[in-house]
Chains A and B, each alone.
Chain A
Amino acid sequence: MSLELRVTFLAEEVGGFDTCVLARNEDRAVVRSSQSFVLDDQPQAVENDGYLMIQRFHAQNFRCFDSLQLDGLRRFNFVVGESGSGKSALLESIFLLSAANPELYFRIRRTRGFGEGNLELQANKESFTSLFRFLFHNGDISSIARLSLHDNYHGNRKLDIYFEGQQSLTIPLNKPENAFVFLPLSFKWDVGNLVKEITLELKDGSIKGTGSVLPHPVHFISPRNVSSRYDAFLFSSLSRSMKIQKVIEVIQRIYPYVLSLSLEIIGGETLIGAQIEGTDEKFPINDLSGGLNKLISIALAIASNPSGIILIDEIENGFYYKNYREVMNSVIALCEEYSVQLFASTHSAEFLTSAAEALETRTKDFLLLRTKYAQNKSEVTRIEGRWSLSAIEQNAEVRG
C-alpha cells in the first residue's frame, strides 16, 4: 500500500520522488519547493536477524571511490579516517541509494554547504554538469557511477548515475547566445525486480525529473543538517502514536535538567520546547546545548525509523566528552530497541573508546571501517570489532 503525500517536509528523510523542478528565473535557475513524494509502507524485516541490515556495499566511479567493495557489514559500523579520506562520501553513498530520488543528492550538497540559498544555474552546459560532476570519481562523467548494496530484506539494490549519450540542444529564443548542448543525467534505481529510471532534463527553462520507487528507511544526520522543523515533525509523529516517552527518557538520562519536552509554537515556528530545571518557562531546544539538540535528533531519527538504518556523520560533534560513554550506550540501546543498523563516522578516539566499551561483550556486532585517500582514490579497510577492541584497549591508533 502506498500513500501519496504532498507535504514537502514529510519527505525529508524517506520517500519516493515525483518531480523536482529547478525553475529558471530569467538567466538563473532557482529551486522551487514543488516536490511530491510517494511514501510506501516502511519495510519491516522479519527474517534473518529481525531487522533490515545492509550486508554488502559496492561503489564504482562514485565520488572519491574508484572501486570499493565492502562485505560483512555489521550491526554497528564506525567509520574512521583522516579528513578528506571518504568517510562522509561513504555515508552519503548509502543515503543516495536509500530512495529513488535525485533530490537526495541536492540534500547531500546542502550538508556540505552547497546551495544553502537558492540554487542558481547559469544557462550553459558547464553550469549544469558542474552540479553533478563530482558525483563521479575524478569528475569522469563519461563512465557510469554505480552504487549497490545487499540487505537482508530487499536483497539487492542498485543505483546507476550517468549522463546519457543522446544530447539535446536547447536554444533559448530570447537569448540565443546561451544555446548549449545539454546532456541529460539519469538516475536508475534497481530494487529487486523493480527498475526506475529518472532522467533530469532541461524543459522550458527548468530541470525536471519524474519517477518513484520503493524507499529505503535510511536516516542521515550530518553535522550541518540538523533540522528543527524535521525534528519537530518526528516528535509530533511519535507523540501522536504514544511512542515519544522512550525518547524523552533517553534525553533525561544524559541531560537530567530537562524536565519535559513538548512541541511549542515559537515565533510562528513549531519547535521542540524543553522545560528546564529551575526555570518556570519552556525554551526552544535550539537555544540550549548543541549536544542536547544532537541527541534529540539522533533519538528521534532512530525511534521514527524502526527496522531501518541510521547514518551519522561526525557522531561526536556537540557532545561533551564526559557524556560520550552514556551517549554511546543510549544510541546502541535505541538501535537495539528499534532494530536499527548504525553507520557512524567519528574523528574522536575518546568516542571510539566509548563505543568499544559499550560493545565490549558483543564484538560480533561491531565493525570498524577505516578510510584512506591515496593515489587519487579512497580505500576502506574493514577491521573486525574484536581487533579494534584489542587495539583500543592497548592505546593503539586505529584511526589511521
Chain B
Amino acid sequence: MPRYKEVYDHPYHIIVEGSDERELLKRLLISRQIDEYQVGCGQGEDDRCLGRSGFYKRIEAILASTTVDVKGYIIVADCDDDPLNRFKDAAEHFEKPKAGLPRPKTAFTKTTGKDQNGKEVRTAVIMIPESLTDGGLETLLLSCCKEIKDYEKCIDDFCTCVQRPGRRKLDDDKVRLRAFIAATHKDDPSLALSSWVTSNHRPFDLKHPTLNFLADFFSAFKL
C-alpha cells in the first residue's frame, strides 16, 4: 500500500509524546464528540514518535504544512517523576520554532497571543496525570480500569516479586498496567499499549470521569 503523507488540515493540534497517547486521545475526542483537533507526535525518520523531545518538531511540521489557519496547540506531557521540570521543558517547545507562539507559564493554562503573521493563536500544556503528581499515561489508564480490581491481588503479587529498589512511580504503573493487560488478554498477553487502547475490548470506558479533565480542557480551549 502506498504511504500517504500526513496532511495538517485542522485548526487545533494536540501534540503528544508517543503513539499510546495519540491513539487514546484520538478516540477520546471521537467519543466525547470534540472536533477540530488533530493529534500526533513529533516523529523521527523511521516514523517512530520522538517522545518529549519531538514536540517542537511536530509544531514546525505543522507550521510548514498546514492547509488551514492554526488557532491552537496543546502539548500533552507526562509528569514522570519531575512534574515541574517536565512542564518547563514542554513549554519551551513553543519557543523553539521561533514562530511567535506564546509560552504558557503554568500547566493547564490557556495562553493566547499573536503569531508571527499577527493572527491570534492559543497554546497550553496539559500534564498527565491531572494533578501534577508523579506518573504518566499508565497512571491515568490504571485509574480508569474497573476490572483491575478482579486481578488486584495477582498484580500486586507480581509487582512485589519484580520490584526493583528506587523504581519511579511511572515505571511502577507501567509494570502494573502491563500485568493487567497480560491478565485480561489471554490470546495476546504482550499486546502493545497503543493496540490495547484502540481495541474494542479495552477494559475502560472513554467516558470514564477520570478522563473528564482532558475532554473538558479540549472543549474549553478553543478560541
- B60 — nearest CB in chain A belongs to which residue? A390
Contact in complex: B47, A387 (CB < 8 Å): no
Contact in complex: A349, B43 (CB < 8 Å): no
Contact of A387 among B7, B43, B44, B64 (CB under 8 A): B64
* B99: chain A residues within 8 A (beta carbon): 387
CA gap between A384 and B98 in the complex, in Å: 10
CA gap between A390 and B43 in the complex, in Å: 9
Contact in complex: B5, A387 (CB < 8 Å): no
CA gap between A395 and B60 in the complex, in Å: 12
Check B57 for interface membership: any CB of A closer than 8 A: yes
CA gap between A396 and B62 in the complex, in Å: 8
- A349 — nearest CB in chain B belongs to which residue? B5
CB distance from B47 to the nearest CB of A (A): 7
Contact in complex: A395, B43 (CB < 8 Å): yes
Check B34 for interface membership: any CB of A closer than 8 A: no
Contact in complex: B64, A390 (CB < 8 Å): yes
Chain B residues bordering chain A, tally (CB within 8 A): 23
Known contacts A386-B60, A387-B60, A397 near B3 by CB under 8 Å = no
CA gap between A394 and B42 in the complex, in Å: 7
CB distance from A172 to the nearest CB of B (A): 54
Contact in complex: A388, B5 (CB < 8 Å): no
Check A383 for interface membership: any CB of B closer than 8 A: yes
* B65: chain A residues within 8 A (beta carbon): 391, 396-398
Contact of A393 among B3, B57, B97 (CB under 8 A): B57
Check B61 for interface membership: any CB of A closer than 8 A: yes
Contact of B64 among A349, A395, A396 (CB under 8 A): A396
Check B85 for interface membership: any CB of A closer than 8 A: no
The contact string, 1 if C-beta is below 8 Å from chain B, for chain A 356-387, is: 00000000000010000000000000011011
Contact in complex: B43, A368 (CB < 8 Å): no
Check A117 for interface membership: any CB of B closer than 8 A: no
CA gap between A368 and B57 in the complex, in Å: 17
Check A400 for interface membership: any CB of B closer than 8 A: yes
Contact in complex: B64, A393 (CB < 8 Å): no
Contact in complex: A391, B61 (CB < 8 Å): yes
Q: A390-B58, A396-B7, A397-B65 are in contact. List 11 more A-B contacts (CB 8 A).
A: A384-B63, A389-B60, A391-B61, A391-B62, A393-B43, A393-B44, A393-B57, A395-B5, A395-B6, A396-B8, A396-B62
Residues of chain A having any CB pair with chain B under 8 Å: 349, 368, 383-384, 386-391, 393-398, 400
